[in-house]
Amino acid sequence: MSVGQRRRHPTMSILVLASACGWAAPAFGHSTGITTNFFANPGAGCNTCHFGGQTPTVTLTGPTSVVPGTTNIYTLTINNPASQQNGGLNVSAPSGTFSTGGADSANTKTLLNPSTGRLELTHSGPKAAVSGVTTFSLQWTAPSSFTSVTLTGWGNAVDGSGTSLGDAAAMSALAISAASPPHDAVVLLVKPVKIVVPVGKPVTRKLHVKVRNADPAGVPPTSIQAVVSSDCPAGVSIGQPDFVASTVAVDDTVTLAAGHTASAVVPVTIHPLDFSNQNHKAPSRCTLTFSAAAQVPGNTDPTPPNNTETVELSVVDKNAPEQATNDESLVDSLGPLTVRMNKNVASVLKKVRPKLTNADIIPAPEAVADAIQVSVDLSDCAGISLTALDVDPFTSGAQNTVMLKGGKSAVGMAQLSFDAGSITTRSNLSPTRCTAVISTAIAGNSEPDGSNNTTRLMIDVIDANDF
């Protein structure tokens, strides 16, 4: 030792390191969290200040392919050495936003890094290991537009002594790539169709079907294809949807920007004797089902029920000889119902009015009234319930049965209740859709034509409480 030199005491080295790390020995200065601006050596991370312990195994897990703008849960686990049964963490990323959340979010918080101006996820206090493992959960919201982002997670296994001695940390990185957002196609509701086929002539009706790109703003345009299927008799001619009616070729696909709609023309031709309805009071009924799908490989539509719309086609064919009937009852097709639930509204009541008819008119209108019973099936409609049903306007009280003579009709009432807590709507452009089935029957008798005994009430609900 040269003259004038003094031997440095080991404690002095610890104090110097403590000062560099931003804490005063022997206190544990970052027990309530830390950001990466404290890492004098980024490659060392928490080990810039913590040392002397056994290095733990640290793992950061969670979705590695996420849709831009979505929030996902990640988990950082520390496999603690035997003498280091407490843990802390820091998770950072160059973009996106961290927040607390998940099943193991206790002892976590966000902290602003003053150097980067970005929030990082850290501990609010040391967290005890359970069966030798300290587990932290967190949430990360991906940027609205990105290609890939790497989350960097440091897990620190500490001995709980109140100093930085006897601790050690390890790092786990997780690369996350941007996934294509799911594309949401919607077929808008269409009113039911009534057609009368005159003697000796076919009838062609052009139906207009609208499809919508219900993607959120900012998502690139996508191509949507519309198709139609049917349970109508084989003789009925149904063309494919055509978005460009001005050209000869049929084009069943259209490219739409987010939030935009387009209309396709679907020609339907009915020939004499395609249907064999009982008489002019009792149309025969079939359905057309229109569907739309985004033409993106691997796409999974987020709201499949509103991709399809079923339209009832009720036909009276004057070429068909009228027949004597017994117990031919029917319910007219009901137009679609759209319900909007405003914010902070818990429930809404809506009434629909089915029209019921006794079609026993051949050889003469039936003089003795039949008891026509009505039922409402809401099994397809979560959050919607039947609160009142009265189909007999001629007597007091709520009745599910009405007495009608041949050729007579009655308009009933079914009241539906919509519960906001049980209905989830993705957006204002993408309603929740279901089908209610309203049926008629005459007890103990079989209907000559069962096709007109039911009507499918298409219901769209837009619950503004959900967005």
What pLDDT, in 10s, does the model give residues 101-159? Answer: 999 999 999 999 999 999 999 999 999 999 999 999 999 999 988 999 999 999 999 99
Quote the pLDDT of residue 73: 97
In whole angstroms, give the CA distance from residue 464 to residue 399. 34
Evaluate whether 84 touches 57 at the Cβ level (below 8 Å). no
The mean pLDDT value for 176-205 works out to 95
pLDDT of 11 over the 60 cut = no
pLDDT in tens, 268-308: 999 999 999 999 999 999 999 999 999 998 888 999 999 99
Evaluate whether 439 touches 453 at the Cβ level (below 8 Å). yes
Quote the pLDDT of residue 279: 96
Q: How many helices (H) and strands (E) does the chain have?
A: 1, 32
10-178 and 324-467: same fold? yes
Please report where in the chains the tokens 């993408």 appear, as a residue.
430
pLDDT of 375 over the 90 cut = yes
pLDDT of 90 over the 50 cut = yes
The class level of CATH for 181-320 reads mainly beta
Q: What pTM was estimated for this model as a whole?
A: 0.71
CA distances from 254 to 34, 181, 222, 316 (A): 52, 19, 8, 34
**Of 44-53, 77-86, 219-228, 309-318, where does mean pLDDT reach its minimum?**
44-53
Provide the strand spans (E) within 231-283: 237-238, 253-256, 261-270
Confidence band for 28, pLDDT divided at 50, 70 and 90: very low
The mean pLDDT value for 169-194 works out to 94
pLDDT of 446 over the 50 cut = yes
The domains of the chain are located at 10-178, 181-320, 324-467
Quote the pLDDT of residue 346: 95
- If phi > 0 it is left, if psi is from -120 to 50 it is alpha, else beta; for residue 362 that is beta
pLDDT of 70 over the 70 cut = yes
Quote the pLDDT of residue 164: 87
The mean pLDDT value for 169-179 works out to 95
The class level of CATH for 10-178 reads mainly beta
Quote the pLDDT of residue 205: 97
pLDDT in tens, 413-442: 999 999 999 999 999 999 999 999 999 999
Quote the pLDDT of residue 290: 98
CATH superfamily of 324-467: Immunoglobulins (2.60.40.10)
